[in-house]
Amino acid sequence: MSIPYRGRFAPSPTGPLHFGSLVAALGSCLDARTQGGEWLVRMEDVDTPRNVPGAADDILRTLEAFGFEWDGAVAYQSRRHAVYGEALASLREAGKVYGCACSRREIADSALLPAIDGGMLYSGTCRAGLAAGRLARAWRLRVDASELVFDDRLQGRIAQVLERDVGDFVLLRADGLFAYQLAVVVDDAWQGITDVVRGADLLASTPRQIWLQRCLGYSTPSYAHLPVAANPAGEKLSKQTKAVPLKVADAPGELLAALRFLGQPAPTELAAAAVRDVWAWALENWSFAAVPRQRSIVIP
């Protein structure tokens, strides 16, 4: 018997949903529903200073207006600090994490190369223990020099050598907040997620998440990284690039555009149809095989 499919959409409430988020929500939801799966929504509000008041409710109302229906209650990472603390404690007992006293400045000064995600590759100063008089600011997970490989359903074979490409990475930050990498891994396991379908901007984070799953004894879900929508300057649509919020009044038109972006030949007439008619077409005709195997697609 195969494990039932369980997918999820995990927005960060840092602003209203935009076209890029609609693509991720729609791709993950259709992949789940057309396989008879469940689809959950999780608010990734662990980075509390970045949360915008009211954004989480606004996201949920927008999803409803766009015809999305999720299973169960929405999970909020901001309420799960104790659980992330337990996961970190178990890693500490197993000697897999260590306290790091380095300041941002010291890391930048000692880093020889940039990390794969544009951050700084940690040189490992505190790996063998803190020098006398130094206090731990953050907690890092040890990585090794082996090649970590996984097969993405859309992007193919992805390989990283964490020690070379990322370095020991932070799970508990100097400001006392748990890192996204820890929260996402703990929650995907807690919610029993079998299939992660999300934007390709998270492709470079995936080997870190798989490594963490292995360190915590969790199983690894299957991954599909959808192309991200980029502006003509090649930047991913986001709050920083001033992506326009989704227009709820034009939900059918926006859904149609998202389906087309995902390679589905949705008929133009759907733009004038009701939201439920667009969903009926999408559920009937969804073809995962038609989704472009690209990391980004420029939209005008």
Query: Which residues make up the interface to ligand GLU (CB under 6 A)?
Result: 10-12, 44, 184, 198, 202
Report the distance separating Cα 27 and Cα 25, nearest Å: 6
Report the distance separating Cα 29 and Cα 38, nearest Å: 8
CB of 44 vs ligand GLU, minimal distance in Å: 4
Q: Which is nearer to ligand GLU, 110 or 238 (CB)?
A: 238
Distances (CA, A) of 40 to 82, 97, 103, 159, 194: 22, 30, 38, 28, 11
Q: Which residue has the CB atom at the shortest distance from ligand GLU? A: 44
Neighbour-count burial for 275-295, b at 16+ CB within 10 Å, e otherwise: beebbebbeeebebeebeeeb
Q: Which is nearer to ligand GLU, 46 or 172 (CB)?
A: 46
Report the distance separating Cα 285 and Cα 121, nearest Å: 44
Question: What does the angle CA 110 – CA 143 – CA 100 come to, to the nearest 5 degrees?
Answer: 50
CB of 237 vs ligand GLU, minimal distance in Å: 12
Say if residues 7 and 32 touch (Cβ distance below 8 Å).
Answer: yes
Q: Which is nearer to ligand GLU, 45 or 254 (CB)?
A: 45
CB of 45 vs ligand GLU, minimal distance in Å: 9
Q: Which is nearer to ligand GLU, 43 or 162 (CB)?
A: 43
Q: Which is nearer to ligand GLU, 12 or 160 (CB)?
A: 12
CB of 13 vs ligand GLU, minimal distance in Å: 9
CB of 225 vs ligand GLU, minimal distance in Å: 10
